[in-house]
Structure 1
C-alpha cells in the first residue's frame, strides 16, 4: 500500500527544446504524453533555461503546436533567479539587468528594483539588446562592488539558421575583464530543480526529470535526487551519453515511449529489487 501511495504522487519535470519540440515543430508523441499526464492527474512542469520569454508566451507557443496547458505549468531560469534573490535578500535589493522581458517581469514581480545606480547585483540573461555600452556599465558596476549572477550557463541557443550566443556566452567579456565569474541559476544548478519541485509540491524521490542534455537536465536531476530520463530526440545520442561518468536511470527514444503509470522511481526500483524480509 505504501508503494502504491507513492506511485500516485509521481510528478514529471520536462525540458522543452529537444524534448517536446525542435524549433517550431512538435516532436512526435509529445502531445500524447502530455495528454497521458493530464488524464492521469499527474503533476508536471515544463522547465527551461531560456529567460527571454514570459511563461504566457511559452504557453501560447505550445498551444500553437497543439499542447494546451495552463500558464503555471512553466518554470524558467528567470523565475529561479527571482526566487534566489528573494531568499538571499528578503528585505529587498536592486539590480542592473542585461536581459529580455522574461527576466525583467520576474524581477519586478519579486519587488526587485532595476537600476544602474549602485545596484546590489548585475544580472545577465538572454537578450536582443546587448551592446558595448551595457558591457562597459556591467563591468564597472561589478568592479565597484555589485555581485554578478546570470540566469543560465548555456553557451548557445537555437535559431532557424543555426546556433546563436546565449547567456553563457554573453557573460564572457564581463567575466574576462573583471575576473569575477557569475553565479548561474539555471540548470544544472540544483537550486532551480528545488524551486521547480517546490512549485509542484512534490518530493524528489517521487519526481522524474526528463531531458535531452546530459550536462544540464540529467546531471541537474541526478544531483537533486530525482529519477532521470534521457530522451534521444534532442542533442544526445547513445554514443555521446556513454562518455559521461554519470548515467540516466532510463533512456527513451522520445516522450511517447514513457508510460507515466508504470515507470518506477529510483527508490521504488531499489526497493523492488530487495528480497522480502
Structure 2
C-alpha cells in the first residue's frame, strides 16, 4: 500500500533550524514554504527554559519568522499532560499542585494550566532545564519525592550545548534525584512519543500524513517512529552519517540539511479524500 502524501510537518529546532542561535541555511526558506503552501506545522524543542514568546523572538533574531503558536516545547507538553492527569484524578475538576525546578518557560506553562505552586506536600515534583540549579531546591525535591510526590521531568537530555562545551541538563539532575530516592521520573519530552502526539493534536494532524524532521536518531527519529510518523534525519546536528548504522531503526529519509527539504513542501501535496481511499 502506498504511503499517504504528507500534509503536515513537525520539525526539531536546534540542529535543524538553528545552531548556536544562528539560522542554518535553508531554515527560513523552509518555514516560508510551509506558510506559503498553508501546511499545518509545529517547531518542537525539548528545551523547557523559554516560553513560546521568548523562542519566537530568538528565532526572529536569527532570521526565521513564525507565529508563537507554531512553537511546541516540552514545558507545554508537560503542563498539558499533568493537567489531563489531574482532571482524570479529580473527576474533571482541576485541583493540582506542583513543586517546580525550572525556568519561566516551565513555570508559566504550569501556571497557565491551573496548577498551584507549593513546597508542602505537592502532587508532583516537576523538573525542567535551568542554568541555575540550586542545591537547596534539589534537596527539597528529593525529600518531597521520598514523601510520595510523583516525579515528572520535561525531557531526558543529560547535557545541553553551549559555546564553551556541554552543560548538565535535565536528565543529569534527574539522575541525581533518582539515585537519592530510587524513583525514576516520567519524562514527557522526546523520545517519548507523547510529545509527538500532543503536537499532532495541537495542529489537528494525523500521524499517517505527517513528517518529522530531526537531527538526532535517539530522540527525534525514534519518537517519530513510535508515534507512527515518517521522518527525515538532517546531518546538521547531533547524529552524523557514519553513526546511523549503529541504530536498529532508520529514518524514512536522510538529507544533508533543511535546505534539501524545502522543495518537498510543495511536492508532497495532501491528497483528496477519494485518493486516500483509493490507496
Aligned equivalents of 1:15 and 1:102: distance in 2?
A: 17
Does 1:185 pair with 2:182?
A: no
The correspondence for 1:223, drawn from 222, 226, 245, is: 226
1:41 aligns with 2:46: no
- Aligned match of 2:90: none
Matched, 1:26 2:23: yes
Partner SS state of residue 170, structure 1: helix
Please give the alpha-carbon distance, in whole angstroms, between the structure 2 residues aligned to 1:245 and 1:95: 38
Partner of 2:178: 175
Quote the residue 2:10 is aligned against: 13
Residue equivalent to 2:99: 96
Q: Which has the bigger relative contact order, CA under 8 A and spacing at least 6?
A: 2
Asked if residue 110 in structure 1 is aligned to residue 124 in structure 2, the reply is: no
1:58-79 Cα distance to aligned partner (Å, 9 max, x none): 0001111111110000000001
Which structure 1 residue ranges, 4+ long, deviate > 2 Å from structure 2? 261-265
Q: Does 1:213 align with 2:182?
A: no
Inter-partner Cα distance in structure 1 for 2:246 and 2:207: 26
Task: Judge conservation of contact 2:21–2:59 (CA < 8 Å) in 1.
Answer: no
Name the counterpart of 1:80.
Answer: 77
Q: How does 1:147-166 map to 2 (within 5 A)?
A: 147-166=150-169
Deviation at 1:173, TM superposition (A): 1.4
Q: TM-score, normalised to structure 1's length?
A: 0.91
Unpaired segments ≥5 residues, structure 2: 88-92
State the Cα deviation string for residues 78-133 of structure 1 (Å, max 9, x = none).
01111111111113210110111110000000001111011011111011231211
Give the superposition deviation at 1:255: 0.9
Alignment match of 1:262 (pick from 259, 264, 267):
267
Give the paired residue count: 265
What is the TM-score normalised by the length of structure 2? 0.91
